[in-house]
Chain A
């Protein structure tokens, strides 16, 4: 990890700029905006799963809280989106705190079940509280984003907005990981027993990282709502939570770039697989299984290992020649 910080960021910025200016197709922009939003979701969840070692099967609810809060505040009550954003993030954080307090006392399967239950409740609230959320027919008329004279109406401008936010969150996550708090988080993942024994208040720290990941999910929900301008409960159902977990696992836990790769693969794969028509989901499942079997540590680590393995081979070969 430590060997790529600035280079990684520079490559990232170049890639975003190049793509942003080279692509003309609105459909591609739309896809890449979704990849960016999913990357945010995976980044937040990765802090919880990859670094703190806790699972959440209910994160779509925080994503939904972010989207619905901004939708209701802006469309129903006429707030500016920029005033709605802190409300959405704060509400999701507060809910995460209240939910996390009892739930994070659980671990393993039980934590999975607990958060799953929370996710279900979230989905039901979005669907049934129709006076506020529009119910299962969805919520229409969410205004697009504007900053002064700049309007994020086009695919390209929204693309730049989302990916700037992604870069910001990547930097935040990396700073967090390489800090006192981050080390304590990683220590929980490795051995909670030892972590406690050297003085880490593991419960408080787990709760804090849960709140952080919920806040990032709400930010993603905000960006989603103002991009599509129409939201419905189906986007925030149980499967959405599972997809988030899958992105983190496929990309590679405990890796910021892994979250990015996972979000890319899981967002773009269904698009590439349209050709298989009715077999689409089968192929999709097979590819995910294949990745996990071949690269059990996820795409990012797996590819790094392959790359380093190849380099070591070459080094060994040239070293051997010199030796003789």
Chain B
């Protein structure tokens, strides 16, 4: 499956993106190796979420390239990128609130399943088998994140912390190789954040590569293998958590800069 088994899972190459006059990303280059946890930090407005949107194909980059498993991402539609194995969650939890917890995860299976309009209307055995498969896999994922007892609740009624877990389960349902988490700990209390850290470890054990934007420094430093630091669209530093923490440019612009955000 992998074109170059020893190469990176994701290669971000000289990516720039501007909105009107604002340079949201300028000349960003880094690799994400399979199996690692990549932390992405930087003050608000540093371009972290923009980078996520470019990697998932939601925004086209102005210049530069995104290579996932040897395949170019630019020019592909979002659902095709999901098909390649890139999934994400959102900063402000985007659940399907009129649907049940289980159904939310079941939609997550969409890209890995086939039956369409005719299948739905005829309900042939093959379609029913697929439906059962979707349901079983989704229930497994709910157990994985610890929401098995909430399967039939309306997703909008869940407490916020659980909504975050549900969003992660839904993203995992698409069998991603790379999972992008946009501030997964935002709005969680200390206990929940601890549990999240544990969950991230277990996701990594499944063989899923993680990339996370996070303001919670202790969590990011704890779970990340490598960290990329962005500031005003530029890449300030990258390296192991220890290297980044002792980097002078980072200290000056970010950690030392009055702790602008959390």
| Chain A residues proximal to chain B, CB less than 8 Å | 172, 175-176, 179-184, 186-187, 189-191, 193-201, 208, 212, 254
A198 to chain B: closest residue by CB: B108
Which residues of B, 104-124, contact A by the 8 Å Cβ criterion?
106-111, 113, 115-117, 119-121, 123
The complex places the Cα of A186 from the Cα of B88 at a distance, in Å, of 20
A271 to chain B, nearest CB (A): 34
The complex places the Cα of A55 from the Cα of B120 at a distance, in Å, of 23
| A180-B171 in contact (CB<8A) | no
| B90-A197 in contact (CB<8A) | yes
Known contacts A180-B131, A197-B88: A187-B96 contact under CB 8 Å: yes
Is B83 in contact with chain A by the CB < 8 A criterion?
yes
| B120-A199 in contact (CB<8A) | no
Known contacts A186-B96, A187-B99, A197-B56: A181-B115 contact under CB 8 Å: yes
Other-chain contact of B94, A180, A194, A199, A200 (Cβ < 8 Å): A194
The complex places the Cα of A197 from the Cα of B82 at a distance, in Å, of 7
Interface size class of B (residues with CB under 8 A): 35 or more
The complex places the Cα of A199 from the Cα of B80 at a distance, in Å, of 7
B127 to chain A: closest residue by CB: A179
A192 to chain B: closest residue by CB: B94
The complex places the Cα of A2 from the Cα of B123 at a distance, in Å, of 17
Known contacts A175-B120, A179-B115, A181-B117: A199-B98 contact under CB 8 Å: no
A117 to chain B, nearest CB (A): 27
- What are the residues of chain A within 8 A of B107 when measuring CB–CB? 183-184, 187, 195, 198, 200
| B99-A198 in contact (CB<8A) | no
- What are the residues of chain A within 8 A of B106 when measuring CB–CB? 180, 183
A251 to chain B, nearest CB (A): 17
A179 to chain B, nearest CB (A): 3
- What are the residues of chain B within 8 A of A181 when measuring CB–CB? 115-117, 119-120
Which residues of B, 165-222, contact A by the 8 Å Cβ criterion?
170-171, 173-174
Which DSSP category, helix, strand, loop or mixed, fits chain A's interface? Answer: helix
The complex places the Cα of A197 from the Cα of B53 at a distance, in Å, of 10
The complex places the Cα of A45 from the Cα of B212 at a distance, in Å, of 41
Known contacts A183-B103, A201-B77: A191-B94 contact under CB 8 Å: yes
Other-chain contact of A194, B77, B96, B117, B130 (Cβ < 8 Å): B96
B172 to chain A, nearest CB (A): 10
| Chain B residues proximal to chain A, CB less than 8 Å | 56, 58, 77-79, 82-83, 87-88, 90, 94-99, 103, 106-111, 113, 115-117, 119-121, 123, 127, 130-131, 134, 170-171, 173-174
A173 to chain B: closest residue by CB: B121
| A190-B98 in contact (CB<8A) | yes
| A198-B98 in contact (CB<8A) | no
B135 to chain A, nearest CB (A): 11
B173 to chain A: closest residue by CB: A198
The complex places the Cα of A82 from the Cα of B87 at a distance, in Å, of 48
- What are the residues of chain A within 8 A of B171 when measuring CB–CB? 198
B153 to chain A, nearest CB (A): 13
| B110-A184 in contact (CB<8A) | yes
A-B residue pairs in contact (CB < 8 Å), sample of 18 = A175-B120, A175-B123, A176-B121, A180-B115, A181-B115, A181-B119, A189-B98, A191-B94, A193-B90, A193-B94, A194-B96, A196-B79, A197-B82, A197-B87, A198-B174, A199-B110, A208-B116, A208-B117
Other-chain contact of A254, B77, B98, B108 (Cβ < 8 Å): B98
| B82-A198 in contact (CB<8A) | yes
The complex places the Cα of A183 from the Cα of B170 at a distance, in Å, of 13
B66 to chain A, nearest CB (A): 16
